[in-house]
Amino acid sequence: MSTPSKNRGQFQAQDKTIPFKGPEAIDSACLECFEYAYHNTPHGQAMEIVTTTNEFTSVCPFSGLPDFAEVKIAYIPDKRCIELRSLKYYLLSYRDVGIWYEHLVNRMLEDLVRACKPRRMTITITCNPRGGLASTVTASYDRETNPAL
């Protein structure tokens, strides 16, 4: 239900927030990896894996309304590759989580780097427009410049 705004005569929504979960509900424990048999070969050093989905959903931590985005995960593996079924479960765990995109991309990068310990990884989240604004958020990891992550 809307109430008239006293300032401009326009209607504005009452303060409403749909309940959602916090970042503790993100299930990074479900991530599984398998051994990359070619990690010691010249081909293993050059190979890049790119996984995308346009079905990613999380929740706006301000309103509780769903946010939709395309997620692109690009990485150069070292000894382990991310198993895709487990990645899908991991991404689904964000479905009811209220999280800012800027935090989401960094959390995802930390979880995936911990799971597979790649040489390099970049995660790009392209958010569906909301109110005429579209955002693209990117976070990157390079083991040579940041081995501690």
Measure the CA–CA gap between 48 and 23, rounded to whole angstroms: 29
Examine the residue annotation and report whether 67 is marked as an active-site residue of this protein: yes
* Residue 9 is assigned to a structural domain of this protein: no
* Residue 50 is assigned to a structural domain of this protein: yes
Per-residue pLDDT tens over the stretch 100-134: 999 999 999 999 999 999 999 999 999 999 888 89
* Residue 68 is assigned to a structural domain of this protein: yes
Measure the CA–CA gap between 39 and 80, rounded to whole angstroms: 8
Residue 38 · residue 47 · CB < 8 Å? yes
| Domain extent for 90 | 31-142
Over residues 16-45, mean pLDDT: 87
Per-residue pLDDT tens over the stretch 33-90: 999 988 887 765 668 999 999 999 999 998 888 999 999 999 999 999 999 999 999 9
Burial 4-30 (b: 16+ CB within 10 A, else e): eeeeeeeeeeeeeeeebeeeeebbeeb
CATH code of the domain containing 112: 3.30.1130.10
Q: Residue 54 half-sphere exposure, CB side, CA atoms within 13 Å?
A: 1
* Residue 117 is assigned to a structural domain of this protein: yes
Of 67, 32, 71, 66, nearest in space to 50 by CA: 71
* Residue 42 is assigned to a structural domain of this protein: yes
* Residue 41 is assigned to a structural domain of this protein: yes
Identity of the residue numbered 61: P
Number of domain units in the chain: 1
Measure the CA–CA gap between 24 and 109, rounded to whole angstroms: 16
pLDDT class for 12, splitting at 50, 70, 90? very low
| Higher pLDDT, residue 6 or 110 | 110
* Residue 56 is assigned to a structural domain of this protein: yes
- What stretches of the chain show up as alpha helix (H) in DSSP? 42-46, 84-92, 101-116
DSSP β-bridge partners for residue 81 = 34
Residue of 30, 60, 96, 142 marked catalytic: 60
* Residue 23 is assigned to a structural domain of this protein: no
Residue of 15, 30, 33, 67 marked catalytic: 67
